[in-house]
Structure 1
Amino acid sequence: MKSILFLFSMVILMATSCKENKECCAQPTNSPLIQASIGRVGASLDIQTATSAGTVLMGGSTDVDEAIQWMIRKSGGGDFVVIRATGSTGYNDYIKGLGKLNSVETLLIDSKEKANLESTRNTIMNAEALFIAGGDQSNYVQFWKDSETSKAIQYLIDVKKVPIGGTSAGCAILSGYIFDAKNGSVTTEAALANPFDPQVSVTKNFIQVPFLQNAIADQHYAQRDRQGRHVVFMARMMKDFDVRAGMGIGVDEKTAVAIEETGASTVFGTGNAYFLFADQLPDQCEPQKKLKWDNSGKAIKCFIRAGSGKGTDGLHLQENPPSLPTQFWSVVDGVLKSN
């Protein structure tokens, strides 16, 4: 009888201790009733292939076939995984039809619970290429930050070295700093008039990609007149986080920037890519005041590269930018100017 009471007491003690110290019990969850995978095409079993690293920043709207094919080549024909927080499996057949791949699988990671599933983590870690679909980047931050999903993505970047890409919101969360859209979107006019408008929410990213650590990306660029708000994002990044040499990459719709593991870049598609560089802090970046960032009309160097089907040389992100940009940009009393 005493032995039974002793064992019962030990069980209660262990359960109480684990409940009080959740840190010791934190593990990826394994629930057969909840799964992130919503569809897979191709082989049912994974394979392992030789891969090479690279990053694709796609500007939204129609996807750029050539950029996806660039990722497929770097994947070695392995298993291609798409992650998203809304939507369906539309990428599966599309990507599978662009090149030789073992499989394409889509994960719908629309909750913290799914982001911490063991099966979610394993599927991502076993991928030879990863693509982040468009949607709302605030969902990605809310669901994926500090989760098994974010750890698995970083593993692909740092250890396995596979190609990573994203379009629209998926592109937004690949730069070192992000417009997280937690308070909704923001227009150029509103951002320039007040860089601290509540909708201008710039944070350090939970994913860190080579060559983009001190960068912030923006998409749907010329089509939605986002040049001005992008400059505000850069100003906030540099001011709030003490970034002394800031970079911005803006990408038009139907356009993609593919960055090699060396830092060389190629622009695919029908629009432009915009590489922005600034090495001086704004003259005025304060709440309720218009942005001022002049430096004699040369506050920001802007290099514009047109995309093409075969790919056009972009900038080499490992090297200092050329001395003569396509344009100089500045902001005078909340108005973006170029020359």
Structure 2
Amino acid sequence: MKKITLLFTIVTQFLVAQNYTEYATGSATDISTNHEFGVCMMGGASENDDAMIWFLEKANGGDVVVLRASGSDGYNNYMYSGLGVSINSVTTFVFNNEAGAIDPYVLQKIENAEAIWFAGGDQFDYVSYFKDNAMEDVLNTFINTKQGVIGGTSAGMAILGGGYFSAENGTVTNAQALSNPYHNRMTLGYNDFLNIPFLEHVITDTHYDDPDRRARHAAFLSRYATDNNTRAFGIACNEYTAVCINDIGRAYVFGEYPDYPEFAFFLQSNCTTDFMPETCIDGQPLTWNLAGEAIKVAKIPGLYSAENYIDLTDWSNSQGVIWENWSVTNGSFSMSSTVNPECDLLSVTENEMLDISVGPNPFKNVIIMDSQLTNFEVKVDDVFGKQVSHYTNQSQIDTSRLASGLYFVSVSSQGLQQTFKMVKK
């Protein structure tokens, strides 16, 4: 019997080792801290130390989990002791398959973490191993319920948007994407994987120093707009640049400009009624021109101090931005300079003011209406105009199920309406 038990133990350990490898640094005892939500994205070369410090500080001394499908323990000492930020532990999991990703021990480690980092590699490994299973559920709970900090570089950044390029059939070049936006390498996913506040309609891209990136990113957005009949957005980084988004949606850009040409790019479909591509059809070259203004791009230098930013609640309020127009005509990509488009994502029409106040702002789990109104309706829309809640004659609204981000709260009574722009922390 002892021999059989020993053999079972060895086989079990062997199978686990084949599914994933674990590297642990620091304390083995889990702790809970007063962590903060945030998103940190890097362009794919060596990490920006200042941005990584920002990421680690959000964990507030807690536990960091690194997820990867190649490599080994390169992040452990760097995060644990190399940046001067005190944290409890760093645990890296290197996965070989989906079975490793959904191992209960792994899922518990992620549940207990205060910070999660996706390493570079092949993003289709992450899509294959993490999507539509228990790992996806645990990650989304961590992001939207626990509200920990999350981040990634290269392939790890590529999967963080609501839309994403999966690279299922390999990478895609500018020429392939522009000549046919439905090329078999244009494998995109939409709003079916990670649900991260402020990135709902965003497709990310990395390694933007590579000239074979920007035009294909425009093609990604054209596909998103066409396939979903909505405006599309993108965030991209040069290789040594980082974008860090705080809990109210302000995206700060870290880099070493002007010593080096380090920029982040924030793309959005033109904020006009007619924003759709003129020709986005399988087998035909892409045309998305709109008088040369199809895509409005905020090009932001990354500074050591990260003073430059754009507010992702309106994609307009910003500092240090160089604005550009991008367009595509019959498969030919063009860029030109422009000015801040100054357009809100949601048009808000207000009639005569109601005698009502709504707060707090920012809010967390409840919104309170202070008014003498006895008959009124309350509608809550997300930043893209989708209604997420509807109430009648309720002075307190439970918002605990809403993700962090910008919302528009409209109160109407007796033909009058007032709309409040509010942020959930």
Superposition TM-score tier, normalisation by shorter sequence: 0.7 to 0.9
Q: In structure 2, what is the equivalent of residue 65 of structure 1?
A: 49
Q: In structure 2, what is the equivalent of residue 247 of structure 1?
A: 233
SS at match of 1:231: helix
Structure 1's consecutive aligned runs of 4 or more residues displaced over 6 angstroms after TM superposition are: none
Q: Does 1:41 align with 2:25?
A: yes
In the alignment, the residues of structure 2 paired with residue 45 and residue 233 of structure 1 have an alpha-carbon distance, to the nearest angstrom, of: 44
Q: Does 1:299 align with 2:286?
A: no
In the alignment, the residues of structure 2 paired with residue 178 and residue 138 of structure 1 have an alpha-carbon distance, to the nearest angstrom, of: 10
TM-score (norm 2): 0.70
Q: Which consecutive residues of structure 1, in runs of 5 or more, have no partner in the other structure? A: 1-30
In the alignment, the residues of structure 2 paired with residue 331 and residue 224 of structure 1 have an alpha-carbon distance, to the nearest angstrom, of: 15
Q: Of 273, 278, 281, which aligns to 2:269?
A: 278
Q: After TM superposition, give the deviation of residue 110 of structure 1 in Å.
A: 2.4
Structure 2: which amino acid aligns with 1:211?
A: F
Map 1:256-335 to 2 at 5 A: 256-270=242-256, 271-279=262-270, 280-321=275-316, 326-335=323-332
Q: After TM superposition, give the deviation of residue 322 of structure 1 in Å.
A: 5.3
Q: After TM superposition, give the deviation of residue 241 of structure 1 in Å.
A: 2.2
Q: Does 1:232 align with 2:219?
A: yes
SS at match of 1:326: strand
Number of matched pairs: 308
The CA deviation string for residues 120-168 of structure 1, in whole angstroms up to 9 with x for no partner, is: 1001111111000001011111111112221111111011111100000
The CA deviation string for residues 204-232 of structure 1, in whole angstroms up to 9 with x for no partner, is: 24111001111100000133431000000
The CA deviation string for residues 29-80 of structure 1, in whole angstroms up to 9 with x for no partner, is: xx65516352111112111111110101111011111111111111001111
Range with bigger deviation, 306-315 or 91-100: 306-315
Structure 1: which amino acid aligns with 2:55?
A: M
Q: Does 1:213 align with 2:200?
A: yes
Structure 2: which amino acid aligns with 1:334?
A: G
Q: After TM superposition, give the deviation of residue 290 of structure 1 in Å.
A: 0.8
In the alignment, the residues of structure 2 paired with residue 224 and residue 76 of structure 1 have an alpha-carbon distance, to the nearest angstrom, of: 38
Q: After TM superposition, give the deviation of residue 109 of structure 1 in Å.
A: 2.3
Q: In structure 2, what is the equivalent of residue 337 of structure 1?
A: 334
In the alignment, the residues of structure 1 paired with residue 153 and residue 56 of structure 2 have an alpha-carbon distance, to the nearest angstrom, of: 16
SS at match of 2:79: helix
Structure 2: which amino acid aligns with 1:234?
A: L
Q: Of 104, 107, 115, which aligns to 2:93?
A: 107
Q: In structure 1, what is the equivalent of residue 179 of structure 2?
A: 193
Is 1:238–1:281's contact at 8 Å kept on the other side of the alignment?
yes
Between Structure 1 and Structure 2, which shows a larger proportion of helix residues? Answer: 1
Q: In structure 2, what is the equivalent of residue 24 of structure 1?
A: none
SS at match of 2:333: strand
SS at match of 1:298: coil
Is 1:193–1:334's contact at 8 Å kept on the other side of the alignment?
yes
SS at match of 1:34: helix
Compared CA separation, residues 320 and 256, structure 1 to 2 (3 A): closer
Is 1:293–1:331's contact at 8 Å kept on the other side of the alignment?
yes
Is 2:311–2:317's contact at 8 Å kept on the other side of the alignment?
no
Q: After TM superposition, give the deviation of residue 313 of structure 1 in Å.
A: 2.1
Range with bigger deviation, 166-175 or 308-317: 308-317
In the alignment, the residues of structure 2 paired with residue 317 and residue 110 of structure 1 have an alpha-carbon distance, to the nearest angstrom, of: 35
Identity of aligned residues (%): 37
Q: In structure 2, what is the equivalent of residue 77 of structure 1?
A: 61
Q: After TM superposition, give the deviation of residue 320 of structure 1 in Å.
A: 4.3
Q: After TM superposition, give the deviation of residue 177 of structure 1 in Å.
A: 0.5
SS at match of 1:82: strand
Q: Over aligned residues, Cα RMSD in angstroms? A: 1.6
Q: In structure 2, what is the equivalent of residue 3 of structure 1?
A: none
Structure 2: which amino acid aligns with 1:238?
A: A
Is 2:300–2:322's contact at 8 Å kept on the other side of the alignment?
no
Between Structure 1 and Structure 2, which shows a larger proportion of strand residues? Answer: 2
In the alignment, the residues of structure 1 paired with residue 309 and residue 173 of structure 2 have an alpha-carbon distance, to the nearest angstrom, of: 27
Is 1:115–1:147's contact at 8 Å kept on the other side of the alignment?
no
Structure 2: which amino acid aligns with 1:265?
A: A
Is 1:84–1:110's contact at 8 Å kept on the other side of the alignment?
no
The CA deviation string for residues 280-312 of structure 1, in whole angstroms up to 9 with x for no partner, is: 111001112111011111111011001022213
Range with bigger deviation, 324-333 or 41-50: 324-333
Q: Of 132, 135, 139, which aligns to 2:125?
A: 139
Q: In structure 2, what is the equivalent of residue 202 of structure 1?
A: 188
